[in-house]
Chains A and B, each alone.
Chain A
Amino acid sequence: MDQTASKENFVQIIDRYQGIINSLCYVYYPNRDDQQDTRQDIILRLWKSFSSFKHESKISTWIYRVSLNTILAKRRKEKKIPQRESLEQVAVAGEIAAHLADDDLQQLKCMINTLKDVDKAIIVLYLEGCEHKEIASILALTPTNISTRMNRIKSKWKEKFKPGHYDLR
């Protein structure tokens, strides 16, 4: 396949699966400019790895893997730069807002915002319908580790959010 055909094929694939990239950027970056920058980074990383993608895994799995690796690496770099507001302060603000939020969507946003980066990825992949084994493969963790982390997330949410609303057991 020549370079132009390959590029067109790549653009078609990304166009079809762009929901994955959009939702991941939206989860990690509330600011629209940051979302745009991150989408650009992800697209370039996907393009660089496109020629070596052998279709051994599903296209969606490949996109999740590359996108999450890009985002998590970017977030690690950003954490080295001092922020105006600490992450703990943001988490506390999120928890307070969650208690006040009546709307399911707002509550979900607040719940996700209280999680650490890797835990956010686990929850997003779970809500997308991935099995523990697939989540483990995307995040280069073990299925046992995924189960443990999910149990911790559920306990944390059960402790902190409206009792009875989601009935997290």
Chain B
Amino acid sequence: MTLDKLKPAWKLYKLESSANRINSKWMLTILEEHEATVYSPMRVWINIGMCLLLVICCQGG
């Protein structure tokens, strides 16, 4: 299979691409930022509860 002749060049290609490595801390930051923006049903219920409480209090009940 003559495409195999490209394999040494591919190794160099991979070496060049590895110059900019992924940092573990950066990865953790991405995951934490993502979690902070993710929809949470619990948070929605807390907000609804707070809203109802405010409505009741403002009506003088």
Binary interface encoding of chain A residues 4-34 relative to chain B, with 1 for a CB under 8 A from any of its CBs, else 0: 0001001100110011011101110000100
Interface of chain B: mostly helix, strand, loop or mixed: helix
In the assembly, what is the distance between CA of A104 and CA of B8, in Å? 9
| B24 and A15 contacting across the interface, CB-CB below 8 Å | yes
Closest chain-B Cβ to A74's Cβ sits at a distance in Å of 16
CB of A62 closer than 8 Å to a CB of B: no
The secondary structure that dominates the A interface is helix
Greatest chain A CB density within 10 A among B2, B8, B13 is at B13
Contact across chains for B22 and A26 when beta carbons are under 8 A apart: no
CA–CA, A7 to B9, complex, Å?
35
Chain B interface, number of residues (Cβ within 8 angstroms): 23
Question: Which residues in window 3-52 of B have CB below 8 A to A?
Answer: 3, 5-10, 12-14, 16-18, 20-22, 24, 27-28, 30-31, 34
Closest to A111 in B: B6
A109 at interface by CB-CB < 8 Å: yes
**B9 and A104 contact, CB distance less than 8 A:** yes
The 6 A-B residue pairs whose C-beta atoms are closest, nearest first, are: A26-B17, A108-B9, A127-B10, A104-B9, A23-B17, A105-B12
- How far in angstroms is the closest Cβ of chain A from B6? 6
